[in-house]
Chain A
Amino acid sequence: MNCATRLLALTGLLTLTAKAASACPACMSTDPKTAGTYLGMTLMMSALPLGLVGGLAYWLWRHYS
């Protein structure tokens, strides 16, 4: 297990320690799907620019090399 994996595992564990809070718009919803929607959209918005630039970089790399 190298340093990066350990760090990632630790990150995962830490996130589980948090409890629901009343300041959290998704936590108090009666519908469990709401929290999932927030998580899904956060993931999409985080991953999309990385995916787009990855795709663009791959396309350029193919054409320039």
Chain B
Amino acid sequence: MSAEAHHAEPGFFRKYLFSTDHKMIAMQYLFTGMIMAVIGGYLAYVFRMQLAYPSQQVPGYGVVSPNEYNSLVTMHGTIMIFWVAMPVLLAAFGNFLIPLMIGCDDMAFPRINRLSYQVFFLSAVVLLASFLVQGGAFGGAWTSYPPLSAKGAYNLTPVGASMWLVAVALEFVAFLLGGINFVVTTMNGRAPGMKMYDIPIVVWMIVLATIMFMFSVGPLIAGAVMLLFDQLLGTGFYDPGRGGDPLLWQHLFWFFGHPEVYVVLLPALGIVAEVVAVFARKKLFGYKTILHTAWAVWVLSFVVWAHHQFVAGIDPRMANVFSITTLLISIPLAEMVFVYIATLYGGSIRLATPMLWALAFMAEFLIGGVTGIFLGASGTDIYFHDTYFVVAHFHYTFVPIAIIAVFAGLTYWYPKMFGRMLNETLGKIHFWGSIITFNVIFIPLFITGTAGDQRRIYSYAQFAEQARPALQHLRVVSTLALLVFIAFQLIFVFNFLWSLRHGQRAEANPWMANTLEWTVPSPPPHGNFADMPTVYRGPYEYATPGRREDFWPQNVPN
């Protein structure tokens, strides 16, 4: 498909900056996402320090002003969701895995794929540049609710607010371009013999998430254009004084924003499915069940958005419907986790680092799901609204998705991506250090939230009735745990970089897995497959009775 396939070694710029090869584009997305994760983590460090030790010098930053605090939390949320979870889970894993796992040489539209990354890169540059403009980066929360976001006089970051919107809009254009590629490639590029039910779960999940993204993002782009007009041209779409309606933004934003949770969740569930089947050495329990529950999530995800308006204002009859749909959507997700646990049952489990991460995903995501029930029911939500309980809840969903599942995927596919094995001992130290500290960060926030701590308060000095000095030690514990968590990530960074050169060389199939990406050398050459593969069976035929080996690759005739 790509014209360069037969060329000699291309030059540096051709190879690393203007490549149309899906693997190189995946790496570009991966490394951009990882750099953004470092920035997002740094922001979290600064504002957690402010919350634990108000108005003191933060090492490596200085004293945090109220405006800066708003910018820090806004940008932390924005970066972690839109510039870390999305590019890594969807774009990096999607680009790397889809062509390799379905057995084709590249994406359907390689040049559109390259354009997708370039637009994404531009969006990251615009977002980061907004730190440098007058007033600083946008400080109106990552949800950007008007009227706060619509007027510079309210959010005090007039330039940053518009740059935020432009960056988000550009990013969505990038993922629209990439997403069309994913769906078309999976539909038309599959190896001969690969039927619908032979596609690996992670590919299905990335494609379903992409379709979900593309069907929900339109309303947010429409809303963003209107908000940009309100900011720059002085229209009044969200100004109640001029016939507008600030609630309109909340609907348009969450029409995308809530499916977005499932857009990043489904690929994470897909990664976990692959890892669980390989390291339990057992056929994935209920392949079709997983697919059907994923479709159920897909359908329900479009009818839950208004649960974000329970407090802002919604017809109570409507609120009941959205409560019910919100609680319903936990059923297919719980079913999926049950299916994974059933896969473990009776398997010969190997507790390698990827498997540890996959198991941790199930345990931690369970806590996130269960605490979500209190927020989905409109009655309890009115109490918990905008407290640290909400913060702890969505970190118990997003950290398993964007951190834990990503580590499961990275440690699992690292040999395929870079041709070397990661160090197992360092991997396990990193795993335990991260998982324990992650819980110590957020369990205290459940407690402070239940006691009534409000989000987005810079300092309790001005809110004496909110201060609750007795809870300060919990806030400190949470911050200290974050410091330890960040320190443990350095181990991963070291392991990642050191293993690139000094890790043990990886053979083609170090985990003895069945899917097609493990049939090619590590790392895969340009064009992926020397001979295009033919597929004879599903991807999870492990421990088949009567077979000498306990795995049965998809492309082996018998």
Does B219 sit at the interface, judged by CB under 8 A?
A: yes
Does B547 sit at the interface, judged by CB under 8 A?
A: no
Q: A25-B247, A46-B303, A53-B211 known; A35 and B219 CB under 8 Å?
A: no
Name the A residues within 8 Å of B303 (CB-CB).
46
Given the complex of chains A and B, what is the CA–CA distance between A64 and B211 in angstroms? 18
Q: Please report whether the interface of chain B is mostly helix, strand, loop or mixed according to DSSP.
A: helix
Given the complex of chains A and B, what is the CA–CA distance between A49 and B211 in angstroms? 10
Q: Are A18 and B299 in contact (CB under 8 A)?
A: no
Contact with B along A1-42 (1 / 0, CB 8 A): 000000000010011111111011111000000010011001
Does B314 sit at the interface, judged by CB under 8 A?
A: yes
Contact with A along B292-321 (1 / 0, CB 8 A): 000000110011001000011111111111
Contact with B along A33-63 (1 / 0, CB 8 A): 0010011001001100110110000001000
Given the complex of chains A and B, what is the CA–CA distance between A53 and B245 in angstroms? 30
Name the A residues within 8 Å of B306 (CB-CB).
42
Residues of A whose CB lies within 8 Å of any CB of B are 11, 14-21, 23-27, 35, 38-39, 42, 45-46, 49-50, 52-53, 60, 64
Name the B residues within 8 Å of A19 (CB-CB).
316
Find A49's partner among B187, B216, B319, B324 (CB 8 Å cutoff): B216
Question: B196-245: which residues lie under 8 A (CB-CB) from chain A?
Answer: 211, 215-216, 219, 245
Name 26 interchain pairs, CB-CB below 8 A, sorted by A.
A11-B321, A11-B324, A15-B318, A15-B320, A15-B321, A18-B319, A18-B320, A19-B316, A21-B316, A23-B312, A24-B316, A25-B313, A26-B315, A27-B315, A27-B316, A35-B315, A38-B315, A39-B318, A42-B306, A42-B318, A49-B216, A49-B302, A50-B299, A50-B302, A53-B215, A53-B298
Interface residues on B, range: 20 to 34
CB distance from B66 to the nearest CB of A (A): 29
Given the complex of chains A and B, what is the CA–CA distance between A26 and B318 in angstroms? 11
Name the A residues within 8 Å of B315 (CB-CB).
18, 24-27, 35, 38-39
Given the complex of chains A and B, what is the CA–CA distance between A19 and B316 in angstroms? 7
Q: Closest B-chain residue to A43, C-beta based?
A: B303
Q: Are A18 and B317 in contact (CB under 8 A)?
A: yes
Contact with A along B402-429 (1 / 0, CB 8 A): 0000000000000000000000000000
Given contacts A23-B314, A24-B315, A52-B215, 8 further A-B contacts (CB under 8 A): A15-B321, A19-B316, A23-B313, A24-B313, A27-B316, A35-B315, A42-B306, A50-B302
Does B255 sit at the interface, judged by CB under 8 A?
A: yes
Given the complex of chains A and B, what is the CA–CA distance between A23 and B219 in angstroms? 24
Given the complex of chains A and B, what is the CA–CA distance between A45 and B222 in angstroms? 13
Name the A residues within 8 Å of B320 (CB-CB).
11, 14-15, 17-18
Name the A residues within 8 Å of B319 (CB-CB).
18
Q: Closest B-chain residue to A14, C-beta based?
A: B320
CB distance from B310 to the nearest CB of A (A): 9
CB distance from A23 to the nearest CB of B (A): 4
Q: Are B215 and A49 in contact (CB under 8 A)?
A: yes
Q: Closest A-chain residue to B322, C-beta based?
A: A42
Q: Closest B-chain residue to A17, C-beta based?
A: B320
Name the A residues within 8 Å of B324 (CB-CB).
11, 14
Name the B residues within 8 Å of A15 (CB-CB).
317-318, 320-321
Name the A residues within 8 Å of B316 (CB-CB).
18-21, 24, 27
Q: Are A46 and B318 in contact (CB under 8 A)?
A: no
Q: Closest A-chain residue to B312, C-beta based?
A: A23
Q: Are A45 and B219 in contact (CB under 8 A)?
A: yes
For the complex of A and B, the 5 pairs showing the least CB-CB separation, nearest first, are A18-B316, A49-B215, A23-B313, A15-B320, A18-B317
Q: Closest B-chain residue to A45, C-beta based?
A: B255
Q: Closest B-chain residue to A25, C-beta based?
A: B313
Given the complex of chains A and B, what is the CA–CA distance between A15 and B321 in angstroms? 6
Question: B160-219: which residues lie under 8 A (CB-CB) from chain A?
Answer: 187, 211, 215-216, 219
Q: Which of B317, B319, B324: most chain A Cβ within 10 A?
A: B317
Given the complex of chains A and B, what is the CA–CA distance between A46 and B316 in angstroms? 18
Given the complex of chains A and B, what is the CA–CA distance between A61 and B210 in angstroms? 19
